[in-house]
Amino acid sequence: MAPWSGLWGGKLAAGGGGGGGDHYRGTPVVVKMENPNWSISEISSPDDDDDEEFLVGGRRKGGRGKNAKQITWVLLLKAHRAAGCLASLASAAVALGAAARRRVAAGRTDADASAAAAAGESPVLRSRFYAFIRAFVVLSVLLLIVELGAYINGWDDLAASALALPVIGVESLYASWLRFRATYVAPFIQFLTDACVVLFLIQSADRLIQCLGCFYIHLKRIKPNPKSPALPDAEDPDAAYYPMVLVQIPMCNEKEVYQQSIAAVCNLDWPRSNFLVQVLDDSDDPTTQTLIREEVLKWQQNGARIVYRHRVLRDGYKAGNLKSAMSCSYVKDYEFVAIFDADFQPNPDFLKRTVPHFKDNDELGLVQARWSFVNKDENLLTRLQNINLCFHFEVEQQVNGIFLNFFGFNGTAGVWRIKALDDSGGWMERTTVEDMDIAVRAHLRGWKFIFLNDVECQCELPESYEAYRKQQHRWHSGPMQLFRLCLPDIIKCKIVFWKKANLIFLFFLLRKLILPFYSFTLFCIILPMTMFVPEAELPDWVVCYIPALMSLLNILPSPKSFPFIIPYLLFENTMSVTKFNAMISGLFQLGNAYEWVVTKKSGRSSEGDLISLAPKELKHQKTESAPNLDAIAKEQSAPRKDVKKKHNRIYKKELALSLLLLTAAARSLLSKQGIHFYFLLFQGISFLLVGLDLIGEQIE
């Protein structure tokens, strides 16, 4: 923007600089008005002659003084920027308050019958867990009232002498409580605290070792490479490595995403005669079945080798669906099977980058690719999920794949050797984590796994807290079911001892059981209780420093998410309620631990993504038999009629815990425990926001 030579410009008359005509004094200023970021740049001018400056021999003497008007403008612009920030914060606070009022007025909670059935929990289990939390809330409120009364009356000095000096009246009751608290309550809470701290340190050490392993992999540039590289561009087609590949797309009532997944899979860069696509539709909605069947027919008419399968008896959920598909007679003609969930969109070169790893590597049973997310910036919830999953793939999967040749199969975006599946017993419907089940059984049979961190497959993240909560319940209940069933097999199998120890103590106990247990117990129960029982101490480094370090390590694989490090730490502790509940239900088979709930998809895909899925001939011509990708894009971008059926809910357990933590924060003020107060305050606010369902997708 050019300097404005108006009111503040140094505009001289034609007669010269000294005495000619009238001219304006001052410093030319460039003002960039880019709301809300205002900036001001000062440009020096030789015609500045403030009262304190004069020229001697053609040279300027002294420093150029600041123009008063320029300083005024700087202050005004900064004030405007601050006002804009305050207005934005006020607007956000008003919107948040309005959403909270609507949520409370609607009165929909997770205790509704429909929500209870969908969440995979029984009403009995939910009521018991909620009653447990509610009892702690009532107890904390009563203790806060007692401690507040003691503080007002100056009885807090009794804490030092309660064990020795007799007192009378109400003070006697309070002194008796202090003696009872110090003698019986504090040792028990301190024991639980020390036990959870030990578990916390062990888990933190495991996390640190994994991060060091990832750093070593990047430092040494370790990367899985095929033993015998394929020759896709060889002049002799027979010299290339194009084995027979079966591609499976299991889906169930996922009409939002079926078109883009089918289109992506049918455009895989692989000889059409060497791969077959199975669309495994478990939908119970006749309309969705018809739409998927018609889409398959379109691609068949276009020349794709694709078949549609629908089960009449829909037992076993996804595992039963895959098991039924593998029983087809033509499966024996194929050597490998690639699996993609309905919302996954593999790149055309996916098979070319994964299948060659199997060549001349007969011990290899699985090649797993990492996930990338099309909607990771949709809202705060998806951003926090992205941090978690980036760490899972970049660190956990990659380190375990490089050093152990074993990790949990992610259920999709992977290629299995069919012989390895058959040798491991095939798909089983005994848990809700059939992917982890088959991976553990294959590992016990001696098969090796490879994780490719540089091969990505796009998919979606749950955008609503309700959908994410259901997904996490299944992901944390299933491993405990599997642990109960697999433990005897792990002990009896003939693999080396350190592999057994890794499976039992690290894979299952530490990362699937201990992590949700101590996260919930330590930060949601024990920490608030130590505020009311000061004799039991929880060190500052457990509350603040180590969790901050662990959060920093978690966020390193996604550095752009660094501004969300504090929300991430608080949200992980908030989710420990759901994970702990799921872990207990899976371990002891409580409630509907075996309930499978399909994660709702929104079908987010740009028009460019959809058009790029079409073969070259389809981009220039449209026929009646060719899939109309323009129509797909319009359908994906159009508002859906079923959005109105969704609604946000109030989550009672999270709200109860928010009250518990905020009450403990108020109690900590009486003891002047700074770090504990701030942690409890912000953690309580986090539980409050999640309990009112204000973190994910907001349904108007």
- DSSP state letters, 451-486: EEEEEEEEE----SHHHHHHHHHHHHHHHHHHHHHH
Does 30 fall in a domain?
Answer: no
Question: Does residue 15 surpass a pLDDT of 60?
Answer: no
- Residues 664 and 532: beta-carbon distance below 8 Å: yes
Question: Does residue 251 surpass a pLDDT of 70?
Answer: yes
pLDDT score of 475: 92
Question: Does residue 405 surpass a pLDDT of 90?
Answer: yes
- Token pair, residue 100, equals 């909270």
- Tell me the residue type at 545: Y
DSSP notation for 420-446: HHHHTT----SSS-HHHHHHHHHHHTT
pLDDT score of 60: 47
Does 112 fall in a domain?
Answer: yes
Maximum average pLDDT range among 27-41, 170-184, 428-442? 428-442
pLDDT score of 299: 96
Tell me whether the omega of the peptide bond preceding residue 36 falls within 30 degrees of 0, making it cis.
Answer: yes
Maximum average pLDDT range among 135-149, 161-175, 434-448, 458-472? 434-448
Average of per-residue pLDDT across 674-695 = 90
Backbone angles phi, psi at 281, to 5 degrees: -95, 115
> Is pLDDT larger for residue 641 or for residue 511?
511
pLDDT score of 217: 97
Does 252 fall in a domain?
Answer: no
Question: How does residue 73 score in pLDDT terms, banded at 50, 70 and 90?
Answer: confident
Average of per-residue pLDDT across 485-498 = 93
Does 207 fall in a domain?
Answer: yes
Maximum average pLDDT range among 85-89, 90-94, 533-537? 533-537
Whose tokens are 């410093």? That residue is 27
pLDDT score of 255: 87
Backbone angles phi, psi at 698, to 5 degrees: -105, 120
pLDDT score of 82: 80
pLDDT score of 100: 67
pLDDT digit string, tens, across residues 38-63: 444 444 444 444 444 444 444 444 44
pLDDT score of 621: 37
Clarify whether 435 is annotated catalytic. Answer: yes
pLDDT score of 503: 95
For the ranges 84-98, 250-264, 297-311, 512-526, the lowest mean pLDDT is seen at 84-98
In angstroms, the CA 452 to CA 235 distance is 28
> Is pLDDT larger for residue 69 or for residue 446?
446
Domain that holds residue 112: 104-151+188-223+378-404+431-436+461-604+648-699
Q: Which CA distances in Å does 391 have to 245, 398, 460, 472, 631? A: 30, 10, 17, 16, 37
Sign of torsion over alpha carbons 648, 654, 660, 661: negative
In angstroms, the CA 421 to CA 425 distance is 6
In angstroms, the CA 266 to CA 299 distance is 8
Q: Which of 417, 274, 275, 276 is nearest to 335 (CA)?
A: 417
pLDDT score of 551: 94
pLDDT score of 615: 46
pLDDT score of 16: 45
pLDDT score of 34: 47
pLDDT score of 328: 94
For the ranges 57-71, 210-224, 336-350, the lowest mean pLDDT is seen at 57-71
pLDDT score of 200: 95
pLDDT score of 1: 43
Does 131 fall in a domain?
Answer: yes
Question: How does residue 203 score in pLDDT terms, banded at 50, 70 and 90?
Answer: very high
Paired with 276 in beta bridges are 246
pLDDT, averaged across the chain: 80
Question: Does residue 319 surpass a pLDDT of 70?
Answer: yes
pLDDT score of 103: 65
The single-letter DSSP state of residue 358 is G
Question: Does residue 504 surpass a pLDDT of 50?
Answer: yes
pLDDT score of 126: 58
Average of per-residue pLDDT across 284-301 = 94
% of the chain exceeding 70 in pLDDT: 73
Question: Does residue 88 surpass a pLDDT of 90?
Answer: no
pLDDT score of 104: 65
In angstroms, the CA 386 to CA 388 distance is 5
Q: Which helix (H) or strand (E) holds 573?
A: helix 565-587
pLDDT score of 700: 62
Question: How does residue 140 score in pLDDT terms, banded at 50, 70 and 90?
Answer: confident
pLDDT digit string, tens, across residues 615-656: 444 443 333 334 444 544 444 454 444 444 567 788 988 988
In angstroms, the CA 360 to CA 344 distance is 29
For the ranges 11-15, 160-164, 317-321, 551-555, the lowest mean pLDDT is seen at 11-15
- Residues 624 and 653: beta-carbon distance below 8 Å: no
Whose tokens are 């997310």? That residue is 373
Question: Does residue 280 surpass a pLDDT of 50?
Answer: yes
In angstroms, the CA 287 to CA 258 distance is 13
Task: Please give the model's pTM, rounded to 2 decimal places.
Answer: 0.79
Question: Does residue 165 surpass a pLDDT of 70?
Answer: no
Paired with 450 in beta bridges are 367
> Is pLDDT larger for residue 183 or for residue 601?
183
Cβ contacts of residue 283 below 8 Å, gap of 6+?
251, 252, 253, 254, 255, 289, 292, 310
Average of per-residue pLDDT across 89-110 = 69
> Is pLDDT larger for residue 670 or for residue 294?
294
Average of per-residue pLDDT across 153-163 = 57
Average of per-residue pLDDT across 257-284 = 94
Question: Does residue 610 surpass a pLDDT of 70?
Answer: no
- Token pair, residue 322, equals 């895959």
Which of 282, 341, 437, 609 is flagged as catalytic? 282
Q: How many domains does the chain have?
A: 1
Which of 110, 281, 341, 435 is flagged as catalytic? 435
End-to-end Cα, the chain, rounded Å:
42
Average of per-residue pLDDT across 332-347 = 96
pLDDT score of 577: 92
Average of per-residue pLDDT across 120-126 = 52
Does 209 fall in a domain?
Answer: yes
Does 578 fall in a domain?
Answer: yes
For the ranges 94-98, 190-194, 463-467, 638-642, the lowest mean pLDDT is seen at 638-642
pLDDT score of 44: 45
Q: Which of 692, 580, 472, 501 is nearest to 196 (CA)?
A: 580
Burial, 19: exposed, middle or buried (Cβ in 10 Å; 0-12, 13-18, 19+)? exposed
pLDDT score of 91: 73
pLDDT score of 532: 87
Does 417 fall in a domain?
Answer: no
In angstroms, the CA 452 to CA 178 distance is 59
- Long-range Cβ contacts of 22-31 (<8 Å, 24+ apart): 23/47, 25/49, 26/67, 26/69, 26/70, 27/64, 27/67, 27/70, 28/3, 28/4, 29/3, 29/4, 29/70, 29/73, 30/1, 30/3, 31/4, 31/73, 31/77
